[in-house]
Structure 1
Amino acid sequence: ETILENIAAGVVSINKKGHITTFNKAAEDILKGNANQIFGSSYKDILDPSYQKPIRRMIRNMHRQHKELTEEQIEIRIDERTLNLLVSIQVLRDAGKRYIGLVIVFEDLTTMLKTQKIAAWKEVAQGIAHEIKNPLTPIQLNTQRLRKKYREDKEGFAKVFEESIDIISQEVEGMKDLLNEFLRFARMPAPDPKPNSLHKIIDDIYTLYSNHDQSIVIKKNYDPNIHQINIDAEQFRRVFINLFENAMDALNGEGRIEITTQLDPAKQKIRIEFSDDGVGISQGDRGKLFLPHFTTKKRGTGLGLAIVNRIVVDHNGTITVRENQPNGTTFDIELPHSPVTLPTDTSSRTRFQKTSSPF
């Protein structure tokens, strides 16, 4: 009890009737509730509808998929404040493995995410300023050149005019491409998850690149236990196009790409490893790789991997990067396993639902 009262995470336990049996101090602070008034009450009567709805959805999904543990990042509003919470829900069972309720853990990520966003957008602003400043220099120099040539040599002006206009047009087009890419990033729609085959999405993109260069070998290692999962197919096509493009650039015409998928039933996670044996990424750069506008390429907006990261996070997943052995880079994507629910035996389904009726 002392430990519960002193940890930073909010902890709420609910018995099989839906009554609250634990509500620690952090839960009071985060959810603005009073433990003395809450104990023994139905969580439906006490918890605010703004965060009760996503929690009930998580619980229903757990029961539908017969999962013991689920985790999701949610955004709620309490007392005019917007909070980002990492919510973990675990089934509680007694020594005889009988269902006795649930424990819900709330971690407040609001301050951490705000700090990360400020730091990231500061870097974005610096990057945008740098990218816009670069083409402005040749534009300015060429306009000065035009003015000077026109004043000094009107007869030879036509040739200089054509050359300068070409340079100015190229730089303006580059600026337009940069701004359009940022607009696509800013206006990216929320995902629309539907039953899709992860492997078919990868295969579709693989087909685009498999004949790209015969000196590049692409190997796929698929876990046969992964079937249809709920993801936005169009957004994940964009994920794999970006990863293929990065790998192709790193290989520079020769090397190997390997894609591995794996189901972790214990954690209810799907892992995707996307590896190449190219030039690799320095340890210092790996920490900044998913920031908007960070790039190691001579020409590039630096938004490709920022978009990949956003899509994965919007699907409640994570993406990390590490060094591939003996050389190259590996991207690790982890997604919640949300299998498409198939019809099951009615009697077993009814039995399970009896334990979860309060939710």
Structure 2
Amino acid sequence: MLSRKNPYRYNQQQWKAFLFLFAALIAAASLIYTNYLVKSLSKSERTKAEVWAMSTRSIITMPDVDDQFISFIYAVRDSLSLPAIITDEQNHVIFWRDLDSTKTNIAPIESDTSHSKLTYDPEYFEKQLNIMKKRHKPIILPLDTGEEWLVYYKDSQALQNLRVFPYVQLSLIGLFLIIAYTVFNSIRKSEQNLVWVGMAKEAAHQLGTPISSLMGWLELVRIKYEAEDDSVLDEMENDVKRLEIVADRFSKIGSIPSLSSHVVYDRVRDYMNYFRIRTSDKITFELKGDQQVEAMINVQLFDWIIENLLKNAVNAISSEGKISVNISENIAKEEIFIDISDTGKGIPKSDFETIFQPGFTTRKRGWGLGLSLTKRMVHYHKGHIFVKESEIGKGSTFRIILKSNLKYEPTQI
């Protein structure tokens, strides 16, 4: 079954695409610039590590240098703050900087308490060396003896934070976009609801006067032509009363509906009897199921639900077919199932959710509001409606679920 473009869904997709594109551009720009900063800072830190390594080598290998020069080298070395380890070619630790002080210490030499040596936790240093080896290639320092020192280092805390920053930034931007979209969507729906409520109440008000006039004219016709029991006038009166019900429905939009206990089977039967004689003789109707189960419903709104679903079923049947309604109860969950089936065109699975959105229709002159309103009215009864099953060319079944013993807190229509 082919369907027209749903403007509601189309506009929603446009906004989603715009927000996604906007978020993607921000994300790309943020990642590119942050990557540039990370590379620049990483290059700077490697230079610092090289300077620190050379100054440390000078202090250790040239002890007889002028004290003033040594002081300068110490100052240069101490101005550089990077977690680093110097090892020989056999991975023996020679010197380190800015590591956990609880894992490193200076211990006195047992044979001579006036001297001391550096000691460290081997497991801790092995772990730190493995981390440093994965992060950066070592800096190689050649010695006069022909040996080499290997300098390993980690990124500074500032560089580590800078690597994480874009992800934090993107998370905040994503959160902002989600909140902005939610707020915008809520405001848009609120505006739509206000417009809908205003139009509905105005329609009900405008219908009031002609409906009252029609009732008066019918009474005059009965009296003038002495047609108290005329079947045609009776059906005309039923239709005028139906208009009164429709006007009453629209007048309730924006207010809290009143609910009362009714036998579901009786309400469906009464409306089906009214609807049957106003439908083609080629379409047969069947009502079956539990005839005793009760639910808290609003009669006008419940009849509207059944009306929309029956009309939808009739429109799905091209020439002749069958519409059946089955009422059952799930006692364990205190739920009532109302299944409305037809032998019409069927609904594609991809449209099972879409058909309840405003604007979706398969008819050339349809407004796409019937099922959307139906879903909304079912929710007023604290119930659910969905497409239970459907097969192209064979028909569809809609299921309404209501509570059979509902402690209902009414909400605004």
TM-score bin (small chain): 0.3 to 0.5
Q: TM-score, normalised by structure 1?
A: 0.42
Query: As a proportion of its length, which structure holds more strand?
Result: 1
Larger radius of gyration: 2
Q: TM-score, normalised by structure 2?
A: 0.37
Query: As a proportion of its length, which structure holds more helix?
Result: 2
